[in-house]
Amino acid sequence: MKRKSKQNGVIPSVDLRALAEYVEQFSSKTIVVLGDFVADVFEFGEISRVSREAPVLILRHRETQLVPGGGANAVNNLADLGARVLPVSVVGDDANGTALVNYFRQKKLDTSHILRVKSWCTPTKTRFLAGWAHTVGQQVLRVDREPQTQLPDEAVKKLSQFLFGAIKNADALAISDYGFGVATPALAFEASSKRKTPLPISLDARHNLHAYSRSRVTTATPNEAELESQHHTSIGENLEELARTGHATFSAMKLNSLLVTRGRHGMALFESGKRLTHIPVHGSDQSVDVTGAGDTVLATFTLAIACGASPLEAAHLANIAGSIVVMKRGTATVTRAELLAAIHDEVAGVSA
């Protein structure tokens, strides 16, 4: 069954009903996430006046929200998609670390593989949103708090034990590397090399994708900017440069598939045999907020592959999930029900 796009013609053929069947299987799969957990804090306030001390706005604080970010957002997406999730990570012995662990406990997730380290600072991104009464707040400032030290050797050793124990009976491993030292190529290689049978391993890495070349990663989901950074180039509208860099990364990392997210340009899927499929953006190309959309793509793609979907089918599911989440404000997730509803709407639209 083919789906059509007004701007891009016929999208590569996929069976939409088969996609729905994969989503129905999500709850039967166990996914391990090795990731850098981030606390995403949103400070909401109303614009009161301009300060007399400096030409800056004064915000009257209204509300503070803390939600899982980074690798923790990938965990949150997998949970809301219905999977059984085993997060493997590190948080600090601080308030935000406690908040993240409690968040997942309230969702009935197994938090026994989340290590608390006293000398560690939980990475935190604090966004300040300002607006007038009855208007949508706009982000005016972001403050990041990052760990100033490396993880102690003892913590890394414990993390390795956690990871190997978790993947023994897992259907897939998702790696979310935000560069804070929890998810690393060395840890991924050590754990995967100990497992006796092959395991689908998906990767979303902010920096130096190719460092994972020996880690038995089977698929990677970088955005276009990350691919550009890896190859020290600019892609933009240049599809030849996209093809060159994508094929180079696919080959260097010995992947089964490479899914490059391209914002309003959709996605590009690289597979063996130099095959490249361009997938137009699903729905509107006018996103509300792209915060954490890459985590949604990683979660959906990984889960679909674990259910037996082909890379093309998994990419289409990730494309649909991504289109849903970018229409939500802040760090958000997609639920299994939302994904199924979107697929059923597509089936109805094609049949009409």
Q: Which two tokens mark 141?
A: 């400032």
| Beta strand ranges found along the chain (DSSP E) | 4-5, 9-10, 30-35, 37-50, 57-70, 84-92, 114-117, 124-131, 138-145, 172-177, 201-205, 219-220, 257-261, 267-271, 275-279
pLDDT by residue for the chain (352 residues), tens digit each? Answer: 444 433 333 456 788 889 999 999 999 999 999 999 999 999 999 888 899 999 988 889 989 999 999 999 999 999 999 999 999 999 999 999 999 999 999 999 999 999 999 989 999 999 999 887 677 778 889 999 999 889 999 999 999 999 999 999 999 999 999 999 999 999 999 888 888 788 999 999 998 899 999 889 999 999 999 999 999 999 999 999 999 999 999 999 999 999 999 988 899 999 999 999 999 988 766 656 677 788 999 999 999 999 999 999 999 999 999 989 888 877 789 999 999 999 988 777 665 5
- CB distance 300 to 270 below 8 Å: no
**Number of structural domains found in the chain:** 1
Q: Which two tokens mark 88?
A: 């493997």
pLDDT value, residue 7: 36
**pTM to 2 decimal places:** 0.90
pLDDT value, residue 298: 97
pLDDT digits (tens, 9 = 90+) for 65-107: 999 999 999 999 999 999 999 999 999 999 999 999 999 999 9
DSSP 223: B
Q: Which domain holds residue 269?
A: 4-351
Tally the residues of the chain: 352
Buried/exposed code over 291-316 (b: 16+ C-beta within 10 A; e: otherwise):
bbbbbbbbbbbbbbbbbebebbbbbb
pLDDT value, residue 339: 94
Determine whether 289 is an active site residue.
no
Q: How many CA atoms lie within 13 A of 305 on its CB side?
A: 29
> Which residues 6+ apart lie within 8 Å of 189 measured at CB?
214, 215, 216
Q: How many CA atoms lie within 13 A of 52 on its CB side?
A: 0
CATH number of the domain that residue 238 is part of: 3.40.1190.20
Query: Residue 270: beta bridge partners?
Result: 258, 276
Query: Residue 275: beta bridge partners?
Result: 271
CA gap 94, 102 in Å, rounded: 12
DSSP 154: H
Neighbours of 104 (CB within 10 A): 20
Q: Which two tokens mark 27?
A: 């709850």
CA gap 158, 116 in Å, rounded: 11
pLDDT digits (tens, 9 = 90+) for 105-142: 999 999 999 999 998 999 999 999 988 767 777 888 99
Report the chain's terminal Cα–Cα distance, integer Å: 13
- CB distance 194 to 166 below 8 Å: no
CA gap 252, 138 in Å, rounded: 41
Closest CA to 313 of 326, 327, 328, 303: 303
Closest CA to 66 of 99, 98, 105, 104: 99
The one catalytic residue in 36, 40, 171, 295 is 295
Neighbours of 121 (CB within 10 A): 18
> Which residues 6+ apart lie within 8 Å of 315 measured at CB?
257, 259, 267, 269, 277, 279, 301
Q: How many CA atoms lie within 13 A of 343 on its CB side?
A: 25
pLDDT value, residue 247: 97
